[in-house]
Structure 1
């Protein structure tokens, strides 16, 4: 594998409330899909490969105040998240899953919306480190991964979506995003392609 000195892997919304069977959203079926797709094991291996080859691993996840007063969106999904207190800052649900948890030295950003660049200093941090190649992985494919790919492409990054490290609550949404939307903005690869 070539050195990844100009590369960051963005681990997006791979948090307990979303991907753990006991998580508030994970328990509704997403955790089962994540398990069936082997997302956490694939991502664990990918993270190790990126670190070993000089790339940066950057975590971006949902993180809300208890009262959700920091959320601008008025979409129905937010009302449901607020009602269930999904991913409140400092909670077990907002923590990244143990299988792929950040290590000392990894950057972690919290957001209150779908787009990982909106309301965070992610873009500025990537630019300051001269990172211009991004691998994207996470849940949900049709939400945070797609949003990140669109924004990163507009910002001039070379973007790859690591398909076997992504999942959506509805497999059809994942498939549509991977085959119809994301190829417009990114290369679609598998975790072994980064090996």
Structure 2
């Protein structure tokens, strides 16, 4: 079965202590596990998709502007991959197994070519990592479920700024979407 690893929104704005919409220590805590997971998937010849939340400054038409402060602005430091994940991406980015896709909605499937790229590569199973467990990971998982993918979420590679939401999402993945939570 062809597998793909998705790294969702592991950006400066979501991870750094001074990020615009940071999950702070919880997001920083998963960096080593996330690095190891990416490295292992790459060494195993799996497809890797870096999916990045991307916004323009003062986009008052985007629904998130009513809910969250501006974050992951195109051209800013905030949208860059965070530290060791950025360094690893720079090492592997030229490989045909590695993709970087900007997204403007919570789900990595909405308004992106992700579904087409997965289908072209006969990928049946996706592994979700990154941020934020109860927002972008959750919405991506729901879309993946509706599209018929086998889903795995790695607990040591997801985090949120809301611990209650994080725990709810982990339970929802397993009990409602039938995902594997490891």
Could you tell me which residue of structure 2 aligns to residue 96 of structure 1? 81
Could you tell me which residue of structure 2 aligns to residue 14 of structure 1? 10
Is the Cα contact below 8 Å between 1:7 and 1:132 reproduced in 2? yes
Report the aligned-residue RMSD.
1.6
Q: Which whole-Å deviations, capped at 9, do the CAs of 1:95-117 have from their partners, x for residues lacking one?
A: 11122122323211111111111
Pairing of 1:81-120 with structure 2 (within 5 A): 81=69, 85-101=70-86, 102=89, 103-104=92-93, 105=95, 106-120=98-112
User: Is 2:37 the partner of 1:52?
Assistant: no
**Structure 2: gaps of 5 or more residues:** none
Deviation, structure 1 residue 54: 1.1
| Separation (CA, whole Å) in 2 of partners of 1:99 and 1:24 | 19
| Separation (CA, whole Å) in 2 of partners of 1:171 and 1:149 | 18
**Structure 1: gaps of 5 or more residues:** 190-195
Is the Cα contact below 8 Å between 1:64 and 1:70 reproduced in 2? no
Q: Which whole-Å deviations, capped at 9, do the CAs of 1:103-153 have from their partners, x for residues lacking one?
A: 323211111111111011111111111111100011110011111111111
Deviation, structure 1 residue 44: 0.2
Q: Which whole-Å deviations, capped at 9, do the CAs of 1:4-55 have from their partners, x for residues lacking one?
A: x7111000011100011121122xxx112223xx211000000011011111
Please give the secondary structure, in 2, of the residue aligned with 1:132: strand
Could you tell me which residue of structure 1 aligns to residue 52 of structure 2? 61
Is the Cα contact below 8 Å between 1:9 and 1:55 reproduced in 2? yes
2:149 equivalent among 157, 161, 172 = 157
CA separation of 1:22/1:75 partners in 2, compared to 1, >3 Å: closer, same or farther? closer
| Separation (CA, whole Å) in 2 of partners of 1:48 and 1:98 | 15
2:127 equivalent among 132, 135, 140 = 135
| Separation (CA, whole Å) in 2 of partners of 1:174 and 1:69 | 28
